[in-house]
Amino acid sequence: MNQLPDFWRTEIWHPLTVHFPVALLSFATIFIIAGYWTKRSNPMFTGKVLLIAGTLGAWVAIYTGSLADAVITRQLCDPTVLEDHENGAFTVAWLFTAASACCH
């Protein structure tokens, strides 16, 4: 390894963009549940904002994942792992998109 890895490679963007939506959607769920339990609007509003931001971020993560797909597919031993990962991502993104549409 004579040189440092190139940071601007396509497959690097997916792990960088996937962690924010995971955190945002987790906290959105917690805040919305807390809003229902306490019957207060502050946690509910915060949860809705986090829900929308996390949902948009999830779709960005799916986009960057599809960009990295071409590079990573050649390096994985088992392509079914990548397919399961992608199916899980689409499931989460669509579920939270539906929650964002219904929770207004």
C-alpha to C-alpha distance for 48 and 25, rounded to whole angstroms: 10
**Cβ atoms of residues 34 and 45 within 8 Å:** no
What does pTM read for this prediction? 0.83
* pLDDT for residue 80: 80
The average pLDDT across 60-84 equals 82
Q: pLDDT-derived band of residue 14, with 50, 70 and 90 as boundaries?
A: confident
Residue 70 pLDDT exceeds 60:
yes
**75 against 63, higher pLDDT:** 63
Percentage of the chain exceeding pLDDT 70: 90
Encode burial over 75-95: b for 16+ CB neighbours within 10 A, e otherwise: eeeeeeebeeeeeebeebbee
The average pLDDT across 47-63 equals 96
* pLDDT for residue 90: 96
Q: What's the chain's average pLDDT?
A: 87
